[in-house]
C-alpha cells in the first residue's frame, strides 16, 4: 500500500467508527472492503494516536478488537483528515526538495564565480609580469645603447 492508500484507509476507518457507537475490526473490514489484517494494524496506529480506543477481545475467528472513537478522534475527523495530512506532507517534501536544489545551485554559482575571479586575477598578474619583464628588457636595451 502507498502512503496515500494508508491515509485513505485510516480516514475510512475513522468514518466507520464515528458513525457507530462501537465496531469490531471484522465489521470495519467488511464495511470498508479493507483486509482484516490491514484494518487491525491501522487501528493500532489510530489507538496510539489517541483517535480511537480499543478493547482486545477474542472470538471464534480469533483475535478481535472492539473500537470506539475518542473525543480527540471526533475533533480530528471534523477539522482534518489523514488524506489532507498526506497532501501537506507531500507539498512540504516538494518545497524542501526545491530549496535543496536552489541551495545547491547557489553554491555551484558561487564556486564558479570564485574560480573565474581567481583565474582572471592570475591572468592579469601574468600580464603584469610580462609587462614588467618587457620594461626591464627595454631599460637594459636603453642602457646598452647609451653605453655605446
Are β-strands 23-24 and 62-69 bridged in parallel, bridged antiparallel, or unpaired?
Answer: antiparallel
Residue boundaries of the structural domains of the chain? 3-80, 84-148
Round the average pLDDT of the chain to a whole number and report it: 87
- Which range has highest mean pLDDT (28-32, 78-82, 125-129)? 28-32
Residue 104: pLDDT over 90: yes
pTM, entire model: 0.59
Is 3-80 assigned to CATH 1.10.10.10? Answer: yes
Average pLDDT over residues 65-86: 86
Residue 135 confidence class, pLDDT cut points 50, 70, 90: confident
Amino acid at each position: 500500500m502507498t502512503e496515500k492508500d494508508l491515509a485513505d484507509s485510516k480516514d475510512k476507518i475513522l468514518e466507520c467508527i464515528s458513525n457507530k457507537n462501537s465496531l469490531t475490526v471484522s465489521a470495519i473490514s467488511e464495511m470498508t472492503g479493507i483486509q482484516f489484517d490491514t484494518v487491525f494494524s491501522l487501528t493500532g496506529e489510530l489507538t496510539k494516536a489517541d483517535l480511537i480506543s480499543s478493547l482486545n477481545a477474542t472470538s471464534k475467528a480469533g483475535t478481535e478488537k472492539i473500537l470506539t472513537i475518542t473525543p480527540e478522534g471526533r475533533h480530528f475527523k471534523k477539522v482534518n483528515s489523514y488524506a489532507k495530512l498526506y497532501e501537506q506532507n507531500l507539498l512540504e517534501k516538494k518545497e524542501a526538495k526545491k530549496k535543496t536544489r536552489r541551495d545547491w545551485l547557489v553554491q555551484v554559482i558561487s564556486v564558479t564565480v570564485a574560480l573565474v575571479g581567481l583565474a582572471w586575477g592570475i591572468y592579469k598578474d601574468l600580464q603584469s609580469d610580462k609587462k614588467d619583464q618587457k620594461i626591464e628588457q627595454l631599460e637594459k636595451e636603453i642602457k646598452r645603447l647609451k653605453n655605446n
